[in-house]
Amino acid sequence: MVGLILEARPLPGGVLIIVRGEVDATNAHQLETYIMNNCHPGDHVLLDLGAMPFMDCAGLMVLLRLHDYTQQHGAQLHLASVQRTPMRLLELTCVHWALAIHQQVEQAIAAVAGSRDHLPSDHDGPEPDLQSGVN
Amino acid sequence: MSKHLLHAPIDSDLETLRARLRAVGRQAGLAARRVDDLVIAVHEAVLHVLDKGAGRGSVHAWQDHHSLTVQVIDEHGLPPEESIPEQPSWSDAHSARLWVMRQACDELNIDLRPGLTLVQLRLSLIDNHE
């Protein structure tokens, strides 16, 4: 299994998940389980993918399920700092048209804050803190 | 005249294989975007061997003036009904995988032989700009 380091930080109305390492069929389930364990229905989910140099179809299917899950609960999945090879997979499959993709994490956080004004969540927490859980 | 670039057994160390494929793509002169295509497509082909095939096989790559060709040999063989889908199915990992392989390379052939399957992927070195 490829090494994967995951970290979750609360955001107002959502959660920021930082992904470090390559995501493929050997560890995609680990990513999905971690995300689902760290978000509530109605949370916006922001994935910082700046340290994820590779993602395969299994990882892509995790993103698609997560996209469906957040939308079903009135929220949205945001991707930030997507690296070149994972972005190429998103382009090849045309999935990039369906997802909210931001160049920088800061832009994604601002987008989540903006959508929070329109889509209030039941789980709006305090302002972001830097406490994090490391998997 | 073709130039041999890679011969690697298929095992569970996919990260190392991807790094070697990236080096092969650069050595063959592929543009960065096409190196990504190569890594994406061959990774999925190898996963197919590990997932649905014998779990044993090898990867070979060579280039000529026009193309980089990668052959993924599965020592088991795909079931006959396995065909390259025309549309992606995101509820079926194997179907999605075959579809992505087809999208990422210029030519994909699956040659089913008794006890052996050859998956051959070709990327053009001619129309190779970013």
The ipTM assigned to this model is: 0.90
In chain A, what residues touch B37 (CB-CB under 8 Å)? 88, 92
Please report whether residue B37 resides in a domain. yes
Q: What's the rounded Cα separation, in Å, for the pair A96 and B80? A: 33
Provide CB contacts within 8 A for B117, sequence distance 6+: B53, B73, B74, B76, B77, B78, B110, B111
Instruction: Among A2, A57, A89, select the one facing B93 at the smallest CB separation.
Output: A57
- B44·A57 Cβ contact <8 A: yes
In chain B, what residues touch A93 (CB-CB under 8 Å)? 88, 100, 103
Does the pLDDT at position A121 exceed 70?
A: no
Please tell me the pTM assigned to this model: 0.87
Q: Which domain holds residue B8?
A: 3-124
Please report whether residue B88 resides in a domain. yes
Please report whether residue A56 resides in a domain. yes
Please report whether residue A21 resides in a domain. yes
Helices B14-28 and B32-51: crossing angle in degrees, nearest 10, is 140
- A92·B96 Cβ contact <8 A: no
Average pLDDT score over residue span A87-113: 94
What CATH number did the domain enclosing B38 receive?
3.30.565.10
Specify the number of domains making up chain B.
Answer: 1
Q: B108 CB near a chain A CB, below 8 Å?
A: no
Average pLDDT score over residue span A113-132: 50
Average pLDDT score over residue span A77-101: 96
Specify the number of domains making up chain A.
Answer: 1
